[in-house]
Structure 1
Amino acid sequence: MPSLNLQCSSSSASKLPVPFFGTALVVLLSCASLASSCTEQEKSSLIDFRDGLSQEGNGGLNMSWANSTDCCQWEGVNCGNGGVVTEVLLPSKGLKGRIPPSLSNLTGLLHLNLSCNSLYGSLPAELVFSSSITILDVSFNHLSGPLQEHQSPISGLPLKVLNISSNFFTGQLPSTTLQVMNNLVALNASNNSFTGPLPSSICINAPSLAMLNLCLNDFSGTISPEFGNCSKLTVLKAGRNNLTGGLPHEMFNATSLEHLSFPNNNLQGALDGSSLVKLSNLIFLDLGSNGLEGEMPDSIGQLGRLEELHLDNNLMIGELPSALSNCRSLKYITLRNNSFVGDLSRVNFTQMDLRTADFSLNKFSGRIPESIYACSNLIALRLAYNNFQGQFSPRIANLRSLSFLSVANNSFTDITDALQNLNRCKNLTSLLIGSNFKGETIPQNAAIDGFQNLRVLTIDTCPLVGTIPLWLSKLTKLEILDLSYNHLTGTIPSWINRLELLFFLDISSNRLTGDIPPELMEMPMLQSDKNAAKLDMKFLELPVFWTQSRQYRLLNAFPNVLNLCNNSLTGIIPQGIGQLKVLNVLNFSTNSLSGEIPPQICNLTNLQTLDLSNNQLTGELPSALRNLHFLSWFNVSNNDLEGPVPSGGQFNTFTNSSYIGNSKLCGPMLSVHCGSLEAPSASMKRRHKTLLAVVFGVIFGGLAALSLLACFLIARLVYDDHTENLVPLHRR
């Protein structure tokens, strides 16, 4: 789904966050030259607004709106002939306070823009029902409550553009209010908490309505057939609501529609081809994330102007109609997560101007269609989680603009040939090819070149054999590398720290051996958050679905990860681990690591996950671990640790399962409490044995001169037995 453009920009005077605005963006006002100063009444109304703002949220109006000056010269105020105030334009000024009804006393006001501020309270009915205002924009504020209903009879209000989006309005859109807006051209009420049915009769009252945006609310019920009466309507958006039922046939009588968007609702039924074909002007169709069933109708091919088609996350079935080939204007298509089947080659992509195509999570089979290689402007292609097979065609190099490619979880073969073909796509930044190439050998050929722009590489779950190849060290722009769940052997190469932008490394669940190289503790992106400024901040062309419920559109939104778990690594945890101060996830579990947990690990104050379980670690848990305030997952189970477990903060939330398999650990959440009756530690036993050996040596040596010393040592031993538990346990 395209961006809802729910952002504020200080450079824009009018904030109607809709990409397709149609005739609502025609110039409604012209600026007249100033002929004289504003009246005292108008100045008083503006001063009333200024004085109602908080001191810290007046946007500097206390200075620029001085009582002694002509209000026609004030910032954001424009006047027409006779000194009549015609515009008050104060978007993105940091204003905080209420909107006073006295602004309606500006009887010549045509355009009021208070968008992108922090104004709160209700929207005065006097402004909504003004006899002069033609454009009213209060979007992106903190306004709340229901919209006022109009009580007295009135008709023919001049209001043409009403933007109340991105506030906290509640209740239904009052029918009596909409009935008097006969000249309305555009209404944006998106991103609020409106309830009830969609205001389907709005076009009867406002026959010139061209744009209606009601998305991101709590509207419910079915879509009324009355929307078919909207003969001038070009944009209809009602996504992310609670709408049910099917798409009524009558709605397709609104033949001027260019943008039809109902994603993320509970719509059901099938797409009726005979109705759909009526929308011959349609450019944008989004019915994603509903419960639509049935096949894609052949008549889709008659929508010659269609540029974007979103049918993802539905229950649609069958083969794609070959008539889809006729949609030559199509630039964006997503059919992700349906049950489409068959050979994608039924569709001829040759004449399309495709930029983004997502066919993932379906049941397509066969080879990648050769015709898709004719789409030289294709930027993003996702074919993941299907039944595609075979090798990559050398023609894939024709996709000169290709930046994002995901073909994971299919049955592709010959990884060496695949990489040699793909590295000719010089603009590739994201390459996800895991769960293919079953049991093959990862190529070691140092001559593999290209991929100079690659930022994401995932070759997981194949399972490939071989060692981590040296050619990866050439991918100097790499930020994310996932080689997990393979059968890779050998050691972790020390050159990984030369990948200066790498902040996500997952080489878990392989058969790697040897020590953790100390060079791994020198990964620049994990040492300082200042290095994040070096990352490319561009959005990904398609979101990366890391799990079913988690997706990312920005790479720097990924956590900083070092995952080496489930290998056969030996040796100690390097003390240099404390340098990785921006690490979020550290997982060294299920290896054969030994030695103590270095106290430097407590420097990783950004950690959210720390898993050292299933190793051979000894010693005590560093008490400073309690300073890891963001920790939500902690596991040191199945080691040989001793002493007390940390307490306080996050550690009060971790249960016995985080420590199980360490019989010498004690703490309030464990079955073993750190009390005076607990068995002496191994170090304490060693002390006792040493002291007793001295005593017995003195006695059996018969040296009377040393007997006093023996008594002293025995006395000292008894004292230690009683006072050992007075010493803080973490100091032992």
Structure 2
Amino acid sequence: MSSLLLLLLFLCLLRGGNSSPEEELQILLEFKASLSTTKNNTFESWTSEGRSTCSFAGIKCDSTGSVSELDLTDSGLSGTIPFRSLCRLPSLSRLSLGSNLLCGSITVGLLNCTSLRHLDLGFNYLAGAVPGLAPLNELRVLNLSDNALTGLFPWGSLGNLTDLEVLSLGDNLFDSSPFPEVVVNFARLTWLFLSDCNIRGEIPFSIGNLTHLVDLELADNFLTGGIIAEIARLRNLRQLELYKNSLTGSLPPGFGNLSNLAYLDASMNLLKGDLSELRSLNNLVSLQLFLNDFSGEVPLELGNFRYLTTLSLYSNRLTGMLPPKLGSVSEFEHIDVWDNFFTGEIPPDMCRKGKMRKLLTGDNKFTGKIPESYANCSSLVRLRVRNNSLNGVVPARLWGLPNLEIIDLAFNRFEGPVSAAIGEAKPLRFLFLNNNYFSGKLPDITGARWLYLQYMDVSYNQLTGTLSPHLGESRTLVYLLMAGNQLSGHIPDCWQRMENLTFLDLSSNNLTGRIPSTMGSMVSLHTLHLNNNSFTGRFPLSLRKCQGLVTLDIGENRFHGEVPPWIGDSFPALKILRLRANRFSGGIPPQLFRLAALQLLDLADNELTGSIPRSVGNLAAMAIRRQQRDDLDRNAFGYSDSVSLMWKGEMSFFKRTLSLVRGIDLSCNFLSQEIPSELTNLSGMVYLNLSRNDLTGSIPSAIGNLDLIESLDLSRNQLSGAIPPSIASLTFLDSLDLSSNNLSGRIPSGNQLQTLDPSVYAGNDGLCGPTLPKKCSDHWEWSTDVEENGDGNEIIWLYLGTGHGFVVGFWGFIGLLSFKTSWRLAFFRSMDKVLSRLSIG
């Protein structure tokens, strides 16, 4: 009897315990009911109408008819997984639900699936902590990657999973933990994916014991130390990803023994040294070492690698020539060696197989011409060779390659015409030709041919001719930069469709005529440079509609009439207003100073009259003391705005530091009356130029409030009275010009003022002081002359009292100062401050 019971028990175990086909059907139908799917055929076969569960899509059964595998990978599933129910399937050995939209957590119900050998839940939206997985000791494959799992992963619970062959946990949100050394005990492991797992510390030497590894991915963690030499023992390795860590040192000796390695990515680390260990890795398909500190030359052997398709070495310190045969024997697709020190010519055969898509060699020292062979590279999508010393004429057919999206030839020495074939590059989105020697007329390409063009920069060449009326048909244009050429004629009235145009720079050409009315249709316009041309007429009324303007520069033209008051209400975001060197007349409208964001105002060299409005103190952005860079410095695709300013007596060009400059230039006009005291509220200004006007009265006593100011020019006016003592507190001031006024009295003392040339006070006959030929005659005069040999004593004549005893004591104190330089300097600085205060009264 007992033997019969044991036999029945054994048979039940073979059948999966007490699970019958009906029960398994019910479990699967419950699973179906808990989920939804975007693919109609996923559960089409899952019905209870007399069908066996073994015929359900994604289901496989074992020899007893019990469900052993459930595979619904990439089936559009969403919802939460009912682990407790599913794990009632006693024979379930494979559960594959990866690449779906599943959410919820991994519950402890999973631990009842003790027969699982393959668990794939990767590429979902599972969240929460992972329970200890020790009961699943039959697992061969564990994939929880690309979810949103959190908490501290239970590394210790993996200790019993000694038969693991695939461990994929990467791209989750686990808490920080040391490198899990438990993984080095999985002798059968072939795939280890722990990228983006918040792992810190060094790679253990014992990882060299995992000799069956084919794929090792430890990228995007917080690993430190070097790439250990023991990694060279992993002779079966085909993929090694270590990017985005803080690894140091060089490629270890013996690294070249990884002869099966096909994919190597150790980019974004702190690695250095040369690349000599790579010369024998002739099975490489992709080599990515960018953003490190590697130096030396690229091994010539790479030119013979038959499988190499991707080479990305940008932002290192590599030198020498690229291998001349690079890409000549492989189906080369991508090279990016940007920002190194490569020299010589661009290898000519990288597109020999007709597969190359990206040629990125910018910011190097390449010379010679673009090889003619690339004119046949119809697969090319991105051609970026900017900032080298390339020269000659660009091959004509290269311009019209049918798949080109980016042509970037900027900052080289190219010459000759831009071929009309460029019209065949219909996918073109970005065109950078600036800072070369291209000449002739631009091809008259209509917007209908360039449906995707967003960025066009042909500035600073030798282009001639007129602007095409077809420019206005390029409705996708966001940036149009044509400055610094020899373009002539009128601006065509064709801008009504360019509602996406954000940056327009036509400066420094020979353009004439009036600004067309359709320019007001560019409602997205952010920056407008029309300066240094010969435009005429009044201030363009059409621009009133461009209320998003941040930079408006129409300086160095022939505009006339009054500065319109509506500027102050129409451009709430305006930061730069530059109208200098025109023929504007009349007064400065007080409404102009409603521009709260304005940080640069240049109205110099016009014919403006009247007073400076007291509302100038309302320029809020110029009152901000803490200066931080903002969007004036850099915009999309590396574009930096720029303007020319009269800075410390010279015209200077500001680009990268533009947003740090705040100031006002009203020089060379006919402004009169007093300098408004409200001007001193603008304590964020770094320059102020009111020179060459007819201003009268005194310098505002609170001028010292402008304590960030570096350049102050009030010369050639009719200013009178004393120089305010507060000017001595301007410690950043290194350019001051008060010459040719009617100032009088003592020059205030102060360390900064004493370093300035006396010429800054010239033409003020009433001024006196130690730096001027005219000495002050009153009893407060002092001297701080020091003999060059250092043996003399400084003499300070202070008539604060009489009496022989005081004189003896005084000279005793001075004698002490002569022996201690630091005391002497500190004393005279203190006396400067005291005497400056006394002179106020």
TM-score between both structures, scaled by the size of structure 1? 0.73
Deviation track 1:468-525 (CA, whole Å, cap 9, x = no partner) reads 1234232333222110122222221100122232222111222222222110111122
Q: What is the one-letter code of the residue matched to 1:185?
A: S
2: distance between equivalents of 1:489 and 1:330? 45
2: distance between equivalents of 1:461 and 1:103? 71
SS in 2 for 1:453: coil
Determine the structure 1 residue equivalent to 2:532: 435
The answer to which structure has the higher helix fraction is 1
SS in 2 for 1:201: helix
Q: What is the one-letter code of the residue matched to 1:113?
A: A
Structure 1 residues 521 and 203, CA gap change in structure 2 (3 angstroms)? same
Q: What is the one-letter code of the residue matched to 2:286?
A: V
2: distance between equivalents of 1:511 and 1:484? 10
Determine the structure 2 residue equivalent to 1:235: 334
Determine the structure 1 residue equivalent to 2:89: none
2:418 is equivalent to residue 309 of structure 1:
no
Equivalent runs, 1:346-365 vs 2, <5 Å: 346-347=444-445, 350-353=448-451, 354-365=453-464
Determine the structure 2 residue equivalent to 1:525: 621
Determine the structure 2 residue equivalent to 1:296: 394
- On the 8 A contact 2:232/2:258 being kept in 1, the answer is no
Determine the structure 1 residue equivalent to 2:561: 466
2:750 is equivalent to residue 647 of structure 1:
yes
* 1:660, distance to aligned residue in structure 2 (A): 5.1
1:583 counterpart (674, 685, 691): 685
2:611 is equivalent to residue 515 of structure 1:
yes
SS in 2 for 1:195: strand
Q: What is the one-letter code of the residue matched to 2:244?
A: S
Determine the structure 2 residue equivalent to 1:410: 509
Determine the structure 2 residue equivalent to 1:494: 590
- On the 8 A contact 2:256/2:280 being kept in 1, the answer is no
Determine the structure 1 residue equivalent to 2:18: none
1: distance between equivalents of 2:633 and 2:643? 19
* 1:666, distance to aligned residue in structure 2 (A): 6.7
SS in 2 for 1:228: coil
SS in 1 for 2:610: strand
Equivalent runs, 1:25-104 vs 2, <5 Å: 36=133, 75=176, 86-89=192-195, 99=202, 101-102=204-205, 104=207
- On the 8 A contact 1:322/1:348 being kept in 2, the answer is no
Determine the structure 2 residue equivalent to 1:687: none
- On the 8 A contact 1:381/1:405 being kept in 2, the answer is yes
2: distance between equivalents of 1:67 and 1:139? 23
Structure 1 unaligned blocks of 5 or more:
1-25, 39-60, 685-714
Q: What is the one-letter code of the residue matched to 1:202?
A: L
Determine the structure 2 residue equivalent to 1:5: none
- On the 8 A contact 1:483/1:506 being kept in 2, the answer is yes
Deviation track 1:421-464 (CA, whole Å, cap 9, x = no partner) reads 211222222111112235x332476x864112222211000132
- On the 8 A contact 1:36/1:82 being kept in 2, the answer is no
1: distance between equivalents of 2:357 and 2:556? 44
Determine the structure 2 residue equivalent to 1:729: 836
SS in 2 for 1:505: strand
Determine the structure 1 residue equivalent to 2:32: none
Determine the structure 1 residue equivalent to 2:116: none
Determine the structure 1 residue equivalent to 2:325: 226
Equivalent runs, 1:264-303 vs 2, <5 Å: 264-273=363-372, 275-303=373-401
2: distance between equivalents of 1:30 and 1:278? 46
* 1:658, distance to aligned residue in structure 2 (A): 4.9
Largest Rg, 1 or 2: 2
Structure 1 residues 322 and 643, CA gap change in structure 2 (3 angstroms)? same
2: distance between equivalents of 1:81 and 1:402? 57
Structure 1 residues 731 and 486, CA gap change in structure 2 (3 angstroms)? farther
1: distance between equivalents of 2:630 and 2:325? 53
SS in 2 for 1:212: strand
Determine the structure 2 residue equivalent to 1:189: 290
- On the 8 A contact 1:238/1:262 being kept in 2, the answer is yes
Structure 1 residues 624 and 271, CA gap change in structure 2 (3 angstroms)? same
Determine the structure 2 residue equivalent to 1:214: 313
- On the 8 A contact 2:590/2:615 being kept in 1, the answer is yes
* 1:630, distance to aligned residue in structure 2 (A): 4.7
Which 10-residue stretch deviates more, 338-347 or 476-485? 338-347
2: distance between equivalents of 1:658 and 1:378? 49
2:234 is equivalent to residue 136 of structure 1:
no
Equivalent runs, 1:465-614 vs 2, <5 Å: 465-473=560-568, 474-528=570-624, 539=635, 542-546=639-643, 552=655, 557=659, 559-614=661-716
Structure 1 residues 199 and 481, CA gap change in structure 2 (3 angstroms)? farther
* 1:361, distance to aligned residue in structure 2 (A): 1.6
* 1:35, distance to aligned residue in structure 2 (A): 8.1
Determine the structure 1 residue equivalent to 2:263: 160
2:211 is equivalent to residue 113 of structure 1:
no
- On the 8 A contact 2:721/2:744 being kept in 1, the answer is yes
TM-score between both structures, scaled by the size of structure 2? 0.65
Q: What is the one-letter code of the residue matched to 1:372?
A: L
* 1:643, distance to aligned residue in structure 2 (A): 2.8
RMSD of Structure 2 on Structure 1 (CA): 4.5
- On the 8 A contact 2:727/2:748 being kept in 1, the answer is no
2:439 is equivalent to residue 334 of structure 1:
no
- On the 8 A contact 1:466/1:487 being kept in 2, the answer is yes
2:485 is equivalent to residue 386 of structure 1:
yes
Structure 1 residues 534 and 443, CA gap change in structure 2 (3 angstroms)? same
* 1:393, distance to aligned residue in structure 2 (A): 2.4
Deviation track 1:144-172 (CA, whole Å, cap 9, x = no partner) reads 55x134248723355724233363x4442
* 1:332, distance to aligned residue in structure 2 (A): 0.9
- On the 8 A contact 2:484/2:508 being kept in 1, the answer is yes
2: distance between equivalents of 1:408 and 1:618? 40
1: distance between equivalents of 2:347 and 2:629? 51
SS in 2 for 1:299: helix
SS in 1 for 2:487: strand
- On the 8 A contact 2:511/2:534 being kept in 1, the answer is yes
- On the 8 A contact 1:497/1:524 being kept in 2, the answer is no
* 1:327, distance to aligned residue in structure 2 (A): 0.9
- On the 8 A contact 1:231/1:256 being kept in 2, the answer is no
2: distance between equivalents of 1:184 and 1:253? 17
Q: What is the one-letter code of the residue matched to 1:499?
A: L
1: distance between equivalents of 2:266 and 2:582? 54
2: distance between equivalents of 1:105 and 1:611? 71
Determine the structure 2 residue equivalent to 1:368: 467
Q: What is the one-letter code of the residue matched to 1:528?
A: I
Deviation track 1:72-113 (CA, whole Å, cap 9, x = no partner) reads 9854789989988944445889x7xx7465584684783213
Which 10-residue stretch deviates more, 482-491 or 588-597? 588-597
2:497 is equivalent to residue 395 of structure 1:
no
* 1:138, distance to aligned residue in structure 2 (A): 4.4
Structure 1 residues 594 and 36, CA gap change in structure 2 (3 angstroms)? same
* 1:366, distance to aligned residue in structure 2 (A): 2.1
Which 10-residue stretch deviates more, 455-464 or 148-157? 148-157
1:455 counterpart (545, 550, 563): 550
Q: What is the one-letter code of the residue matched to 1:467?
A: E
Structure 1 residues 398 and 667, CA gap change in structure 2 (3 angstroms)? same
* 1:594, distance to aligned residue in structure 2 (A): 3.6
2: distance between equivalents of 1:376 and 1:306? 19
Deviation track 1:36-63 (CA, whole Å, cap 9, x = no partner) reads 459xxxxxxxxxxxxxxxxxxxxxx9x9
1: distance between equivalents of 2:228 and 2:571? 59
- On the 8 A contact 1:642/1:663 being kept in 2, the answer is no
SS in 2 for 1:496: helix
SS in 2 for 1:316: strand
Deviation track 1:680-728 (CA, whole Å, cap 9, x = no partner) reads 15999xxxxxxxxxxxxxxxxxxxxxxxxxxxxxx99999xx9999961
Taking only the aligned residue pairs, the percentage that are identical comes to 23
